[in-house]
Amino acid sequence: MTLVPHHDGSALHVSAVAPALGDVVHVRLRVPAGYGPLAAVRTRSNPDHEPEWTDAARIGAADGWDWWEAPVTVRNPRHGYRWMLQHEDGRVEWLNQTGLHRIETLDAEDFALVAHPAPPAWLNEAVLYQVFPDRFARSAQADTHPTPDWAIPAQWSDPVDPVMPGRSQQFYGGDLEGVIEKLDHLVALGANLLYLTPVFPAESNHRYDAGSFERIDPLLGGDEAYVRLIEAAHARGIRVIGDLTSNHSGDSHEWFRSAFGNPDAPETEFYYFTDEGNTEYVSWLGYASLPKFDWSSEELRRRFISGDDSVVAKWLKPPYSADGWRIDVANMTGRLGDVDLNAEVRQLLRETMLRINPDAILLGESTNDAASDLQGDGWHGAMTYPSFTRPVWGWLSEPTGVPYLDANGEELTESWFFGQPIGGIPRYTAREFADAVTRFTAGIPWRVRLGNMQPLDTHDTARFATNAAPGAIPVAVGLSLTMPGLPVVFAGDEFGLVGADGEESRTPMPWGTEGEPAVAERIALYRDLIALRRAHPALQSGGFRWVHTDDETVVFVRESADETLLVLASRGDADAALDAGAVPGASAATALFGDATLAVADDGAVLLSADGPAFAVWALPGVAAPAPVQPVEATEVSRGVVDADIPTPADEVREP
C-alpha cells in the first residue's frame, strides 16, 4: 500500500478524547514526507449544518512523517470534522474515516469528537466473557430447585434440541452458584468482564421473555445468589453486567398480566394494545410471548429507567452493584412505524446510569448497521455484527455443508449466516474483509468504536468454529483481540465447541475435558492472546492503521506514543512488502506471537512472510511525534466559504 496521510481518534492525533462543549481540541494529521507539495491543510467541520474551517500548521517532522496540527472547537455533542489537503498543483484531497478521496465526502463518515460523558476508562481494558446461564455450570444446589412446568428437563450430557418446543424449553438447569464455582476459569483465561444473558424469571431457557424485572429467577438461586456472584467476581477483579430487554417483556410479566384484558389497568399504556378489550397487541416480530413496550408512557419510563427504584437503577445499587447493562434489541426499542423514541430511551438510560453509578457501562444490541444509533449519546458500544464478525466469517470460513435442523425441524445444508437468505456464508478476500471493516466503522466515532463488542460468535449465532477454514481459528481469535473494539469470548469457544445456528451454539459447557490435548491447546490459544491484549495498552486504545492488504493477508498497526504493535493475519501464505516509513522502528521489532518472519531491507522497506494460515504480532517502539505547539491567536476560523485572505499553513510554518 502506498503511504498516505493518516488520522484517527486516538491520543496520538486528538488532544482530548472526552471534550466538553465549547472546548478547543487540537487534532493532528500525519503526512508522509515528500507527499504533495501541499499549499494548505485545513479541517472542515459542519456545526449546526454550516461549514466551519480551521487552518493547520506544520509543526515538525519525525520518522518520515510531517505532522500538521489544527484547532477544532467542539460546537455540537457529536462534532464531525474531516481534513482537506490542498496541493500546490491545484488538486484537493479529503481525508475522513473511510480514507483519502479526490471528491467531497459524506458528513456521516467524518471523524467525530463526542462531548457526551465518556465511558469509564476500564471499558478499554476489558475482555468480555459471555455466559448463557442455563448451559454454563450446574451446582449441586440446582438439584434442590423444582423443574418448572414449562420446562423439558435435560441431562448435562444430552445434545441440544434445536426444534420447537425444545428449542426454547429444553432445560439443563445451570445456575448462578455454578457460575461462582467456575470463576477461577475466567481468571485463568484472563477475562475480566462477565456478561450474563438474562437472569430474571421467565418461561424459557433463554429468559428473554421476562416475567418480572424485580427479582432474580429462583431457578438460578434468586437474589442472594446474584449478590454472591457479583461479590465473588469483584473479589477476583472481574466486573459483571446484566442483560435487559427494553423492547419487550414476556407475556407472563406482571405488568402485562395486569393490563391484558383490563383496559383500566395503569399498565395498559406500557404496551401497544390494538383492540378495546386489551387482548390483541403488538409483539416483537409477531411472537405473542414477547409483547412490545410503548415508550411514550411516562410511567413506564419511571418504573423501568428513570426512577430511583427503577429496574435499571435497582440492580446497579448495593447490595447487587452490577457494573452495567447490555440492552437486548436496542435497535428496535422505542421504534414502531412512524414512532421513533429510540434516542430518548437510550439517552434516559445513560442519564440514569450516570446518576446511579457513573462507572457503569451501557452496551446496546444492534446487529446490523448501527452507525446512526452509535454517536455517543447513549450506548458506549454495541453488540453489532457487520463491522467485524460477519467480515471475519466471510474471509476465514470454509462451509462444511453438514446438515442441521431449524426450529421447525426442516433439514438445512446451507451454512447459517446471521439470518441472511444469501445462500450461506459469502466468500471474501482479505482485502474485502478490510474494506467491510472500514465501511461499517466509518460512521462511528472512534470512542464508541472502542466500546463495540467484537465477538466471533454469540448465543444468537452459530459458532465460528463450525465452519472455520483449516488453521483459521488462531487468525480469527487474534483479530478479535488486536483490532479496535471490545473482545468477546462466548463461553465454550475456548473449548472448541461448535454449533450450526444460534440454538445449537448454546451447548452445555464440557467441564472436565480441559486436559484433552485439543481442548488444552485451544484454551492455551485464548489464554495467550488475551494476555497479549491485556499486557499492551496500544491494543486497548491505541490508534489503528492498515499498512497492507491483498487477497490473502492484512497487516495493520496499533499505535501509541509508548509502543506500536504490528499485526499480520493471513488465510494463505503471506508475502507482504511494506514501504519504507510505513512502520518506523521495524529494525527493533520484537516477536510477541506467531510464526512469521520480519526483515528490513536496506532502503527501510519491511518484508513480512509466513506459511499460512498465520497470525503474528511484533512490538515496535512508540510513534515519534513533534511536541504539541499551541496555535497562535491569529489562527483563523471561518464559517461557510473559505476566505481567500485567510493565511494558509504555508505562511505560518513553525518548527518545534
Contact 24, 31 (CB under 8 A): no
CA distances from residue 394 to 428, 433, 545 in whole angstroms, order as listed:
5, 7, 21
Which pLDDT score, from 0 to 100, does residue 652 have?
Answer: 34
**What confidence tens digit (pLDDT) does each residue in 394-411 have?**
999 999 899 999 999 999
**How many secondary structure helices (H) and strands (E) does the chain include?**
16, 32
**What confidence tens digit (pLDDT) does each residue in 250-301 have?**
999 999 999 999 999 999 999 999 999 999 999 999 999 999 999 999 999 9
Q: Which residue has the cell 474531516?
A: 82
CATH code where residue 34 lies? 2.60.40.10
Complete DSSP assignment for 181-238: HTHHHHHHHT--EEEEPP-S--SSSS--S-S-SSS--GGGTHHHHHHHHHHHHHHTT-
Q: Which residue has the cell 531491507?
A: 601
- 149 and 229 part of one domain: yes
- pLDDT-derived band at 644, boundaries 50, 70, 90: very low
**What confidence tens digit (pLDDT) does each residue in 407-456 have?**
999 999 999 999 999 999 999 999 999 999 999 999 999 999 999 999 99
- 505 and 566 part of one domain: no
- 489 and 418 part of one domain: yes
Which residues constitute the domain of residue 107?
Answer: 24-115+627-652
CB atoms under 10 Å from CB of 175, counted, come to 30
- 424 and 499 part of one domain: yes
**What confidence tens digit (pLDDT) does each residue in 75-108 have?**
999 999 999 999 999 999 999 999 999 999 999 9
Task: Tell which of 230, 257, 292 closes a domain.
Answer: 292
- 298 and 286 part of one domain: no
Q: What percent of the chain has pLDDT over 70?
A: 96
Q: What percent of the chain has pLDDT over 90?
A: 93
- pLDDT-derived band at 636, boundaries 50, 70, 90: very low
Which pLDDT score, from 0 to 100, does residue 628 have?
Answer: 76
- Residues in contact with 366: Cβ distance below 8 Å, sequence separation at least 6, in sequence order: 330, 331, 373, 374, 379, 382, 383, 384
Q: Which residue has the cell 499551541?
A: 630
- 480 and 554 part of one domain: no
- Residues in contact with 447: Cβ distance below 8 Å, sequence separation at least 6, in sequence order: 9, 17, 18, 114, 118, 119, 376
- Residues in contact with 555: Cβ distance below 8 Å, sequence separation at least 6, in sequence order: 546, 547, 548, 549, 566, 567, 568, 569, 576, 578, 608
By CB atoms closer than 10 A (0-12, 13-18, 19+), residue 163 is middle
Task: Tell which of 503, 535, 567 closes a domain.
Answer: 535
Domain membership of residue 17 (yes or no) is no
Which pLDDT score, from 0 to 100, does residue 637 have?
Answer: 54
The rounded distance, in Å, linking the Cα atoms of 22 and 19 is 8
Nearest Cα to Cα of residue 460 among 592, 328, 278, 320: 328
The rounded distance, in Å, linking the Cα atoms of 169 and 155 is 13
- Cis amide prior to 455 (ω within 30 degrees): no
- Total domains present in the chain: 4
CATH code where residue 330 lies? 3.20.20.80
CB atoms under 10 Å from CB of 456, counted, come to 24
Domain membership of residue 6 (yes or no) is no
CA distances from residue 88 to 93, 346, 366, 590 in whole angstroms, order as listed:
12, 47, 45, 41
- 529 and 550 part of one domain: no
Q: Is the pLDDT of residue 363 over 70?
A: yes
Task: Tell which of 292, 309, 324 closes a domain.
Answer: 292
- 612 and 551 part of one domain: yes
- pLDDT-derived band at 36, boundaries 50, 70, 90: confident
Q: Any idea which residues carry the catalytic annotation?
A: 328, 365
Domain membership of residue 8 (yes or no) is no
**What confidence tens digit (pLDDT) does each residue in 23-33 have?**
999 999 999 99
Q: Which residue has the cell 438439584?
A: 143
CATH code where residue 571 lies? 2.60.40.1180
Q: Please state whether beta strands 563-570 and 553-559 pair in parallel, antiparallel, or not at all (unpaired).
A: antiparallel
Which pLDDT score, from 0 to 100, does residue 632 have?
Answer: 40
